[in-house]
Structure 1
């Protein structure tokens, strides 16, 4: 049996193996969406190879993601049952948390989220999820392969070109290479998203490192605090041991092993915050605390930042695609397509980006199944997939951008004044509520 070659010298190698199905798929990008798709293709007998420039799947940005019932159902169609069990054994179930809380910048409670006791959603470490998906993909994952471009060869066959001068051809190329996707930019003849106007800083803080008072205030729940002048702080609660979605300690492989807050600070993306992207660790942590202090946040509300693991503190710019479905995947369906953030890049304010990429992957797999039995052409299958992806992306982006706009409006004179006036009233009403 022959293998897929990707040699350094400039040569073009078809993605084909003796005895393999008739369709050969090249996936560009080994993030959550690309690995989920590749696992599903492999499980269903397609010949697939996924290429990623990383050399270690555990060396990934981000800290935790939420998969709702729809995303979990999609993932179950893509990966073997044993992978799904190990993932659930390593996840933190939302149904075991307290109700989410909303605070003001002084630490006053101004409201609660919905009752979570019936929620099927689960939080996971991104590293854990990516590692398990990579295991499901197996030898079809090719690390250390940086993609420089995509096109069609002289026969009209989709081709992936690599920075080392090699290339591969396939029947279908799928771009799952994130917000700066080489594949999607080729298809759209330009960028598929733009800055959302927010810069974020994220980090990790163990519950045990906080003072008793802050442990009690924050509790075993996630929270969002919004203050005047465009300052916001999201605090997510992750406990894959105490709140395990599946009680199977022997299967657990979460990188988080104790109750931990995964937080994200948000500010308007301005010239003042531009230098943050070049800062790391303690320097970035200090700059962030100073900015919150300038915005008059109460000292105890910043403890989760001040006591964070300094090595975990990193900055990133929010990007967003259009909320209009008609603007997403603005190309004619064919033998090159894309999914996930490559098409519908979404700020993390909806907590649905990875889940949407997994749902994209499951839908594409379903549509490609129709080509195997001859009931649809490849172009028709891709077209149906892209139509559904546009709707999913639009719905998710609309939710995420609502929060972004709420944060940005507080940075206007009127918005800042309204926030300063309204939050004490909301806090008082919350205290009086039975």
Structure 2
């Protein structure tokens, strides 16, 4: 059985690594020529995503992955701030968390290594078709079509494969435009380093403005104390942040680097954000600042993969495009890949048909996609709700109420001293 995967992102490479590990005939076509030239947030892998990776890659690759990752259990609890940098509250205790954070570049590079010669970079797919016997055909602008027995679309939000199957786009803009960047902790002033601390957090303001600040330290907070195995591109404590605004169709997305950084800071200042809360943006490396639009598929499981099972399928954002607001999109793609591999083993053994295997995989994938989308869209809707007349008034009031409750709870938790 020959399998072709279109897309060399996290999900596509993970599936290919697993297929190659179990001696399937697999080829990945990826349009990028440099797999390290990828942006985005760091990736959070919960226990389920890590279990999926264990099935897909060799123990040696998995150990190097953990050796390049940062443990959430070593971080302080997450924080919630208002637009002036005032603390509203903390998230749950992380000391027993099994989740890890890893650079997207690091994970993608390690997965590409696991795929090896079965990865064909610099190959752009232009169309999908069928051979005379119904087998999938992959078309290229500069090469002859390639036939396969199973075609898997791992080509992301704007998936050519998923659109071919569904006949329409499988997702839509979620109403938020995002901006990301990286700031070394050492580049911040002492006061801001102390305020942010070794933790991630979210700052919110009225009119749909929000700023996520993710803490990543694969050296000081390493999952495994194995410096010889470490391949992390982040070599010290770093904040990888994501700014969010309602998508109003403005031209800020067209800017790049320092120009985009300046425009982003000006936008926050117009919304009344304090200089203190924006220091992490102002001191970011301009070369890392980028813009992107949030896309989302339906949260209803029956709406995902709305096509009959057959020799063409898809995984990850190609089916259940997920905003980054829950930190679960990449993990879901990894779980898709492991599930598809599991269902292909009986096909290779001759104990079931490909159509039955794909049908079972897609049924599970719809439920998984619905779960992660529901979580991610809760935060999206919350942010968008602040961009209403009611939200513009209510956000400062809710922030004040949160501060009062936080201070009250903190006072109550202080030990009482005995009277003399």
| 1:106 aligns to 2:80 (yes or no) | no
The Cα shift of 1:367 comes to 0.4
Q: Which position in structure 2 is the counterpart of 1:17?
A: none
Q: Which position in structure 2 is the counterpart of 1:346?
A: 322
Q: Distance in 2 between matches of 1:165 and 1:80?
A: 33
**Equivalent position SS for 1:240:** coil
Deviation track 1:396-417 (CA, whole Å, cap 9, x = no partner) reads 0000000000000001010111
The Cα shift of 1:41 comes to 0.3
Q: Which position in structure 2 is the counterpart of 1:13?
A: none
Q: Which position in structure 2 is the counterpart of 1:159?
A: 137
The structure 1 segments of at least 4 consecutive aligned residues displaced by more than 6 Å after TM superposition are none
The Cα shift of 1:56 comes to 1.3
| 1:305 aligns to 2:311 (yes or no) | no
* 8 Å CA contact retained: 1:198, 1:318: yes
Match runs of 1:2-401 below 5 Å? 23-271=1-249, 274-401=250-377
**Equivalent position SS for 2:137:** strand
Deviation track 1:288-314 (CA, whole Å, cap 9, x = no partner) reads 111111111111000000000001001
Pairwise CA RMSD: 0.8
The Cα shift of 1:61 comes to 2.2
Q: Distance in 2 between matches of 1:369 and 1:93?
A: 33
The Cα shift of 1:276 comes to 1.7
Q: Distance in 1 between matches of 2:405 and 2:377?
A: 28
The Cα shift of 1:65 comes to 0.5
**Equivalent position SS for 2:182:** strand
Gaps of 5+ in 1: 1-22
The Cα shift of 1:144 comes to 0.7
Q: Distance in 2 between matches of 1:409 and 1:124?
A: 31
* 8 Å CA contact retained: 1:63, 1:127: no
TM-score normalised to structure 1 length: 0.93
TM-score normalised to structure 2 length: 0.97
Deviation track 1:256-286 (CA, whole Å, cap 9, x = no partner) reads 0010000000000003xx3122101111111
Q: Distance in 2 between matches of 1:45 and 1:142?
A: 18
- Residue in structure 2 matching 1:420, options 377, 392, 396: 396
Q: Which position in structure 2 is the counterpart of 1:3?
A: none
Q: Distance in 2 between matches of 1:171 and 1:155?
A: 10
Q: Distance in 1 between matches of 2:5 and 2:146?
A: 11
Q: Distance in 1 between matches of 2:33 and 2:268?
A: 37
**Equivalent position SS for 2:156:** coil
* 8 Å CA contact retained: 2:305, 2:362: yes
Is 420-429 or 108-117 further displaced after alignment? 420-429
Deviation track 1:343-381 (CA, whole Å, cap 9, x = no partner) reads 000000010111100000000000001112222110000
**Equivalent position SS for 1:261:** strand
Q: Distance in 1 between matches of 2:44 and 2:398?
A: 31
Gaps of 5+ in 2: 414-420
Q: Distance in 2 between matches of 1:222 and 1:376?
A: 46
- Residue in structure 1 matching 2:381, options 400, 405, 416: 405
Q: Distance in 1 between matches of 2:235 and 2:283?
A: 18
**Equivalent position SS for 1:173:** strand
The Cα shift of 1:431 comes to 2.2
Deviation track 1:46-74 (CA, whole Å, cap 9, x = no partner) reads 00000001111111121410010000000
Q: Distance in 1 between matches of 2:154 and 2:130?
A: 18
